[in-house]
Amino acid sequence: MKMIIFPFLATLFLSSGHFGKNVTTGKFSDTLAEDVKNETLRTWSTYTEYAWPHDGLLPISKTYHDWYSQSLNMSPIDAYSTLKVMGLDNEANRIENFVIDSLNFNKDIFVKLFEVDIRILGGLLNIYEMSGNEKVLKKAQDFADRLLPAFNSPTGLPYFYVNLKTGATKGNIVNVAEAGSYIFEFGILSYYTKNPKYYQTAKKATKEIFSRRSTIDLLGRDIDVVTGKWTYTQSMVGAYADSYFEYLYKTWLLFKDPEIKKIWDVSIKAIQKHIAEPRKNGLWYGKVDMNTGEKVNSEVMLWDAYFPALLVLSGDMERAKKADDAWDFLWNKYGLIHMVYDYTKDTVINPFYQLNPEAIESAYYLWHYTGDSLYYNRVKKYYTDTKKYCRTEVAYSHVENVLTMKKKDEMETFFIAENMKYFYLTFSKNPPVNPEEYVFNTEAHPFKKSNFKATEVNKRLGFK
């Protein structure tokens, strides 16, 4: 990969394994970064006033909502890393204290394994890394222990739901992302607890998915965790499969497990051969039949826009640029990206925008690695449009229809965890984290590579 080292990287002010006291606050020479920080603080203050410590803020009605009958306190856990990266230490410390004093997962509720893994387990592990507080690690381990029963299926692939109190499971049809996106967080937990069982459990699920690839090395979309049979055989890189591929490469980056790298190598080759479709406005990745490679449709979801970022990380800059052109075209067509789009018919299939971060994430990685202002300006445009169409009196909201820009009274937790972090890192002259030194989980929680010592990783995660 061609890497350009910018002067500002030489002035990074974070040198220790944990963030701790080194974070400098208030030193902004870039007014846009300062604006992002102020907007984040404005939104976070609204959350703390109207919704603390519930799962989410309703940004128009100024109240809260929880995902289940009892709150999982998802917003604070998910927001911590962004607040910390921005140097908002008081806000971050309040969350750390809350985690220690009040977090209790002994709740009789069925939770979606995938969503709580990336937001809550990923968030807690990040709070541990950034604070160095061992009590946070205990909370993360307690949470992961409650998730582990989900993997007790005949195949080792996880059920969709697990009950945090009883360990009961339900939901045997899962998509590829929900089946095989646990190696990153579970690997980090194994490293810090020196217990390989977490990584080994997650890795088995990843391998079980891979072992069911077709003769042309493609995966389906949905699988039955009891029978191990595919129930939906369209193949894709985007939503429904996305973080499975993302975690193959990111886990390789963090832990250098050669078995995972082999899975990535085989997978990406098949993806580029059978799914990539160059068109005049960019490189698209639609849906093909997993057994024949035949194109079945050209619908893409806005989550799919993560893929250029993954291509950048894996060193495929040319395809990354072309794939990003496709998403930028789409953003500019309507002002925001809508949930589902057919790139052959040039039709909006679902006009909803859920404050998803992926287009911002990809342009951020391209800007970071190329230094080409084209990508900086893309992120700037996305920020301007986000403020124009999603900003409410007190926070930010989803948009029900990008054709009318009618707002919807919801704000996903990833808005602060991801969008605001990528905006800030793009605009900041001295970004406190960068992709050379950190690997971000799929919810943008950054983990420092040098914390995972090569001499220890194999033993702690249990691979050769």
Residues that bind ligand DMJ (CB under 6 A): 118, 242-243, 303, 356-358, 414, 442-443
Q: Which residue number, 120 or 457, has a Cβ lying nearer to ligand DMJ?
A: 120
Q: Which residue number, 319 or 398, has a Cβ lying nearer to ligand DMJ?
A: 398
Q: Which residue number, 14 or 336, has a Cβ lying nearer to ligand DMJ?
A: 336
Q: By the 8 A CB rule, do 75 and 55 touch?
A: yes
| Main-chain dihedrals φ then ψ at residue 234, nearest 5 degrees | -75, 140
CB of 28 to ligand DMJ, least distance (A): 27
Q: Which residue number, 257 or 358, has a Cβ lying nearer to ligand DMJ?
A: 358
- Measured distance CA(297)–CA(304) in Å, rounded: 14
* Closest by CA position to 255, among listed 57, 454, 423: 454
Residues 6 or more apart from 325 whose CB is under 8 A from it?
281, 282, 283
- Measured distance CA(323)–CA(243) in Å, rounded: 17
CB of 243 to ligand DMJ, least distance (A): 4
Positive or negative torsion for Cα 56, 81, 418, 200: negative
CB of 441 to ligand DMJ, least distance (A): 9
Strands 340-342 and 299-301: antiparallel
- Measured distance CA(130)–CA(124) in Å, rounded: 10
* Closest by CA position to 137, among listed 146, 122, 124, 120: 124
Q: What is the DSSP string of 239-277?
A: TTTHHHHHHHHHHHHHH--HHHHHHHHHHHHHHHHHTEE
H/E element, 180: helix 176-180
CB of 354 to ligand DMJ, least distance (A): 7
- Measured distance CA(204)–CA(250) in Å, rounded: 17
What crossing angle do the helices spanning 89-102 and 74-85 adopt, rounded to 10°?
A: 150
H/E element, 401: strand 398-401
* Burial profile 188-200: b = 16 or more Cβ within 10 angstroms, e = fewer: bbbbbbebbebbb
| Main-chain dihedrals φ then ψ at residue 93, nearest 5 degrees | -65, -35
Q: Which residue number, 46 or 356, has a Cβ lying nearer to ligand DMJ?
A: 356
* Closest by CA position to 318, among listed 270, 357, 366: 366
CB of 111 to ligand DMJ, least distance (A): 14
CB of 53 to ligand DMJ, least distance (A): 20
Q: Which residue number, 208 or 246, has a Cβ lying nearer to ligand DMJ?
A: 246
Q: Which residue number, 73 or 356, has a Cβ lying nearer to ligand DMJ?
A: 356
CB of 119 to ligand DMJ, least distance (A): 7
Q: Which residue number, 414 or 463, has a Cβ lying nearer to ligand DMJ?
A: 414
Q: Give the residue carrying structure tokens 């309507």.
A: 334
CB of 453 to ligand DMJ, least distance (A): 28
CB of 37 to ligand DMJ, least distance (A): 22
Q: Which residue number, 71 or 243, has a Cβ lying nearer to ligand DMJ?
A: 243
Q: 256: exposed, middle or buried (C-beta count within 10 Å: 0-12, 13-18, 19+)?
A: middle
Q: Which residue number, 275 or 359, has a Cβ lying nearer to ligand DMJ?
A: 359
**Secondary structure E strands in 21-65:** 56-58, 63-65
Q: Which residue number, 82 or 442, has a Cβ lying nearer to ligand DMJ?
A: 442
CB of 181 to ligand DMJ, least distance (A): 7
